[in-house]
Amino acid sequence: MIDSFTFHSLKEVTSTQDVAHSFAKESKLPHAMVITATSQNSGRGRYDRTWVSPEGGLYMTIALKPRKSIELWSQLSYVVGISLSEAITQIEPVCAPQLKWVNDALLGNKKVAGILLELLGNDTILIGVGINLKVNASINDVLGTSLDKHSAKFSREKLMDTFLKRFKYNYNLWCSGSFEPLRNLWVRMAYGIGREIEVKLRDRTQIGTFIGIDDVGNLQLLSGGSIVLINAGDVFFH
Ligand code: BTN
């Protein structure tokens, strides 16, 4: 459960994930610590991609020590995605981001935020969140967008505060109950259910129809008449 967050705000860093690693080495990384930076010069995304992070974006790492089985921790991608979408919609109801499996938030079909989950030892997970607030979003993704293109209502403080309130609520729900209510919420916000997708796995590519997620959080792909379950991969739409 989260009662309250401990904040650590920095200016330029290599990556807020790196800062969390250093704090952990000094035993200074409590549960629910939030590390933010105004810019990062070595920001990273999934699959070792670079996350270019100039001033104007929102960059944060949340360190958590969940008291749930480690096999379930990947469900936190859904908890974070839902919280991001809820926060953005709460600030500006005309903006309701859709969630692209499993770690992206899209506005108008373009990526506005990304999530990175990293295990730290066997008791801590680092949740990295990068949101394009006022940046040239094409730096990370030709198909990127930023919140300032959609509305003037977003400020760094308001977005962070609203997101963390939603995250605390959803995380505590995850800690105390089943995954089912979160799964239902995520599916309602999901991008591309019913569409043909290509999932790049470590060693191959799987093609099929994206039909949803199962009760533990695997992607369900209808392929050749049977349902294939996928727990990690990069999704492409046709
Ligand atoms: C992705 O879309 O691939 C995930 C991007 C995650 C970027 C965030 S910004 C804060 C934290 N620090 C990093 O270096 N990366 C994450």
In this prediction, residue 222 carries a pLDDT of 97
Q: Which of 67-71, 154-158, 234-238 is least confident?
A: 234-238
pLDDT per position as a tens digit, 29-58: 999 999 999 999 999 999 989 999 999 999
Q: What does pTM read for this prediction?
A: 0.97
**pLDDT of 140 over the 90 cut:** no
Q: What CA–CA distances, in Å, run from 162 to 87, 92, 137, 158?
A: 5, 11, 22, 6
DSSP of 76-118? HHHHHHHHHHHHHHHH-TT---EEETTTEEEETTEEEEEEEEE
| CA 149 to centroid of ligand 1, rounded, Å | 21
In this prediction, residue 139 carries a pLDDT of 76
| CA 179 to centroid of ligand 1, rounded, Å | 25
**pLDDT of 138 over the 90 cut:** no
Please report the atom of ligand 1 found closest to the CA of residue 140: 2
| CA 209 to centroid of ligand 1, rounded, Å | 28
pLDDT per position as a tens digit, 185-235: 999 999 999 999 999 998 999 999 999 999 999 999 999 999 999 999 999
